[in-house]
Structure 1
Amino acid sequence: MNSTETRSYPRHVKTEGGTIEFHLMGPADEAAVLAFARGLPVHDLLFLPRNISEPKVLSAWIKEIERGSIISLLAVKDGAVIGCGTIVRDPLSWSPHVGEIRMVISTDVRSLGVGRALSNETFALALSIGLEKLVVQMTVDQTGAIAIFEGLGFRGEALLRNHVKDLAGKAHDIVVLGHNVAQVRAQLEAYGLPDAVK
C-alpha cells in the first residue's frame, strides 16, 4: 500500500511554536535537511544509526526514500526544516510487518508541541501503510521523547547498554520502545472500536 493513498500531504498543524507544515521528504529537500541536521546537537544524532549531518549519508537516505524502504516526513516552519520523522522498514526481511520510527526536532521548537505533533503524524502515517508493530530507540536521557512515545502507547522492550559512542568516545545506553499495533487493533475491534487507531 502506498502511504499517499491513505494520507495526503502537505498538512498543516497549529502548535505553540506556530503553524507547522508536514510534507513528505524528497530529493528537492536535501539541502534544507542537511542544514537542519548540521544545526542539531551531536547528542541528538546518537540514536540514529548514521550521522545525517554528512552529505554522503543524506544522499544515501534520499536513494532509500526513492526505493521505498524509507518514508520521511518533514516539519517545516517559515521555509526551514525544524523536524523530521522517518519510518524505516524492510519488506524483504523476516520482519516486513515491523517499522522503526526515527525522529529529530530542532532545539528551537522543543517544548512547544512540535515534537508531539510530528510524532503523532509519523505514527498515523506508519499505521496508514499497514505496519503491525512499531519500534523507536533513543538514548535513555531523552526523557521528553520517551514520554511522547509512551503517550502514544509505546512500552519499553529493551535496554542496550553502551550501545553508541559519541564523538568524544563516551558510551551511551539506548532504550528500545515498541508498540504492537496489531494487538491494539484486535482489542479495539473486540470492544467495537475498530477505527480508533487510524
Structure 2
Amino acid sequence: MSEQRSYPRHVKTDAGDIEFRLMERADEAAVLAFAQKLPTHDLLFLPRNISQPKVLAAWVNEIERGAITSLLAIKGDEVVGCGTLVRDPHSWSPHVGEIRMVVSLSVRGEGVGRALSQETFALALGAGLDKLSVQMTVDQRAAITLFESLGFRAEALLRDHVRDVDGNTHDIVVLGHNIAQVRGQLEAYGVSDAVR
C-alpha cells in the first residue's frame, strides 16, 4: 500500500457511533455470528459463503497472507458490517481491486453501509489501485444505488452467475470505477490528503 490508513476510526451514523477496525483472527467468532444472521440472499454479494466456519477460516488466512484487507464495522461490541478490499498483485490485473461488502439488517438505511463503502474506497485509493469493481445481484437496488453514488458504473451483466442454497440462479451486475481518475482529480485540486 502506498499509504496506510490508521485504525480504529470512529464515525457517527444514524445508527450511532460505529468503529471501523481491521479484521484479525481474533474476530473470527464475532464475524461468523454476524454472517450467520445475514439473509442468505445477502451472502450472494460474496463469492463464498462466509457463514460457513471453514470458509471464514480461509478468509482469515487470506487476510494474514496480505491478499485481502477487511474492515469491520462495530457497534458496541457487535459486528454490524464488513467491507473487504481484494487484490492480487501476481495476477494480470495487479492494478485492479474488488470491494466486497455486507451490512447487518439492524443498521441498514442508517448510513453504516455508506460510511463503510467510503472507508473501503479510501483504502483502495491508499493502496494505489487504478480500478475497482464490485458485484451484486441485479435485485439489490439499494446497494447498486449506493455504489453508483460513489461513481461506480455498470460494466457487465453475468446471467445465471450465482446459485443460492436453494439451487436458484441469479444474475450478477458488475460495477466498475476508475479510481486513478479520482486520484488525479484530487491531486489537481490540491486535496489529495482529503481521504486520509
Partner of 1:177: 175
Deviation at 1:149, TM superposition (A): 0.8
Partner of 1:168: 166
Question: What is the CA RMSD across the aligned residues, in angstroms?
Answer: 1.5
Partner of 1:153: 151
Partner secondary structure for residue 166 of structure 2: coil
Partner secondary structure for residue 6 of structure 1: coil
Partner of 1:195: 192
- Runs of 4+ deviating beyond 2 Å: 183-189, 191-194
Q: Is the 8 A contact 1:100 1:136 kept in 2?
A: yes
- Counterparts of 2:109 and 2:124 in 1: how far apart (Å)? 24
Partner secondary structure for residue 45 of structure 2: coil
- Counterparts of 1:194 and 1:155 in 2: how far apart (Å)? 24
Partner of 1:69: 67
Which of 127, 137, 141 is the aligned partner of 2:135? Answer: 137
Deviation at 1:54, TM superposition (A): 0.4
Deviation at 1:46, TM superposition (A): 1.1
Partner of 2:46: 48
Residues 1:29 and 2:27 are matched in the alignment: yes
Q: Is the 8 A contact 1:185 1:197 kept in 2?
A: no
1:123-159 Cα distance to aligned partner (Å, 9 max, x none): 1111111111000000011111111111111111001
- Counterparts of 2:114 and 2:150 in 1: how far apart (Å)? 10
Normalising to structure 1: TM-score of the pair?
Answer: 0.94
Partner of 1:101: 99
Partner secondary structure for residue 156 of structure 1: strand
- Counterparts of 1:147 and 1:196 in 2: how far apart (Å)? 26
Normalising to structure 2: TM-score of the pair?
Answer: 0.95
The amino acid across from 1:123 in the alignment is F
- Counterparts of 2:4 and 2:68 in 1: how far apart (Å)? 17
Deviation at 1:183, TM superposition (A): 2.6
- Structure 2's unaligned 5+ residue stretches are none
Q: Is the 8 A contact 2:71 2:84 kept in 1?
A: yes
Q: Is the 8 A contact 1:156 1:175 kept in 2?
A: yes
Which of 102, 113, 124 is the aligned partner of 1:126? Answer: 124
Deviation at 1:193, TM superposition (A): 4.4
- Counterparts of 2:8 and 2:189 in 1: how far apart (Å)? 32
Q: Is the 8 A contact 2:133 2:176 kept in 1?
A: yes
Deviation at 1:197, TM superposition (A): 7.0
Q: Is the 8 A contact 1:87 1:101 kept in 2?
A: yes
- Counterparts of 2:124 and 2:183 in 1: how far apart (Å)? 14
Partner secondary structure for residue 33 of structure 2: helix
- Counterparts of 2:175 and 2:92 in 1: how far apart (Å)? 19
